Amino acid sequence: MTVIDATETDFQTQVIDRSHTTPVVVDFWAPWCGPCKQLTPLLEQLTGDAEGGVVLAKVNTDENQGLAQSYGVQGIPAVKAFVDGKVVDEFVGAQNPAVVQRFFAKLIPSEADGLVASGDEDQLRKALELEPGRTDASLALAALLHERGEVDEALKLLEQVHGSFRADGMAAALRLRDDPSLELDEAFDALDAGKAGEALEVLLDRVRRFPDKRDDLRAIIVGILDELGVDHPLARDVRRKLAAALY
């Protein structure tokens, strides 16, 4: 079981740096806090059950008031989960065991997570057996199928994914990629080269020129923007141009 005491002096190393390889649950507590004494044994138990998948770092707020202030701790026990140096989840108070168990479960990679990380086709298929319609596994497997020309199989796979702009965009791209009238090679080549801006300009042009293909072209554009993220410099400008082209 990996349980450590973290302080202002070593918090960067013990929590922030370590969280880039293993999720770290930080328990902000104090010796006088009754609910803390109830919660800490459960945190320690679940950390042990994780068998190295999670580290528990205990921070005494009486001795590390600067840390508590930095992370907005206003009541204790306060529990925060760190992944890749950032707080990804948190709760305050001595929650019931089921709540705390779910908190830990979200941090520990599932069997499917490990299979997807491999990128191997057989492993991706196993991941989808465990979690049908899983987006990252479906996207990766669909890309492999497309590379060897199994477009219909890739499309069937993507149809099982719901609520993903990237999956919708990939499916639309597979449907339009071989349409010679659209001349989309330039866009896809630019994407492959990491030149999203050039690709989006080509796609926007096709939205204006081919109204009968607008739904699929729009899906491709939205999928690209989703992958880039809402804060990407292209996002606002492209969305404005897309709206103008559509309406």
The per-residue pLDDT string of the chain (247 residues; one tens digit each, 9 = 90 and over) reads 589 999 999 999 999 999 999 999 999 999 999 999 999 999 999 999 888 889 999 999 999 999 999 999 999 999 999 999 999 999 999 999 999 999 998 898 777 888 888 888 999 999 999 889 999 999 999 999 999 999 999 999 999 999 999 999 999 999 998 899 999 999 999 998 999 999 999 999 999 999 999 999 999 999 999 999 888 899 889 999 999 988 8
Of 26, 33, 100, 158, catalytic: 33
Contacts of residue 109, defined as CB under 8 A and 6 or more positions apart, other chains included, come to 53
Task: Report CA torsion sign: 178, 183, 187, 192.
Answer: positive
Helices (H), the chain: 11, 34-49, 65-70, 97-105, 111-118, 121-130, 135-147, 151-159, 165-176, 185-192, 196-209, 214-228, 233-246
CA-CA distance, 6 to 82, in Å (whole number)?
13
Q: Is 33 a catalytic residue?
A: yes
Active-site residue (options: 6, 15, 24, 36): 36
Amino acid symbol at 46: L
> Residue 173's pLDDT is what?
95
Q: Cite the residue boundaries of each domain of the chain with CATH code 3.40.30.10.
A: 3-105
CA distances from 15 to 89, 227, 229 (A): 14, 29, 27
Let me know if 245 is a catalytic residue. Answer: no
Whether pTM > 0.75 for this model: the answer is no
Phi-psi map region of 164: left, alpha, beta (phi>0 left; psi -120 to 50 alpha): beta
User: What class has domain 3-105?
Assistant: alpha beta
* Helix/strand/coil for 92: strand
Q: What pLDDT was estimated at residue 183?
A: 93
pLDDT tens for each residue of 93-137: 999 999 999 999 889 877 788 888 888 899 999 999 988 999 999
